[in-house]
Amino acid sequence: MLTIGDKFPAFSLKAVESADLPKDFPVLNQDSFEGKWKVYVFWPKDFTFVCPTEIVAFGELNEDFADRDAVLLGASTDSEFVHVAWRQSRDDLKAVAYPWLADIKKELSAALGILDKEEGVANRATFIVDPDGIIRFVSVNDLSVGRNPKEVIRVLDALQTDELCPCNWQKGEETLKAA
């Protein structure tokens, strides 16, 4: 699995940005949103139980990520058509404003090393990537356990200080000074 300090892999994937079926799906890659921090949120499968709770919770913080000069990107190994159908099937997912990547060939998930060995789908993985494309944070959960999006915001805030941040540090608090 790729980790802190590794370059986020090159990719080119179709994206779904709403519940509307577009004429052409936009294609995003590692250079999309140049100069921005990127937060990649992978989930195992569309039309499941834990995934929508996370997707909606991250979506509720989308403006908070944008305020931090960060772009939120969702991804699973489902196709762009499955992403659209799932968004269309649930009002809470229709309201989600960040793009979902369709890693149907599993190339990005495999390059990141986050494919579940038994299920063959992406684990619940979160990557914070700096504007230079370097992975600065990685978290991977079991398929059955959802994430805490507010913790991802907290870590992003800490990374953006470029300072030493103690346990449970929150934006606006003092950072540590090396002796």
> Which residue in the list 51, 102, 114, 125 is annotated as catalytic?
51
51 is catalytic: yes
**C-alpha distance from residue 14 to each of 77, 80, 150, 174 (Å):** 11, 7, 27, 42
d(CA 18, CA 83): 9
Whether residue 75 contacts residue 42, with contact meaning beta carbons closer than 8 Å, is answered with yes
Report how many helices (DSSP H) and strands (DSSP E) the chain contains, helices first: 6, 7
DSSP 113-155: T-B-TTT-SB-EEEEEE-TTSBEEEEEEE-TT----HHHHHHH
d(CA 159, CA 136): 8
Q: Which residue matches tokens 């569309």?
A: 46
The residues annotated as belonging to the active site are: 51
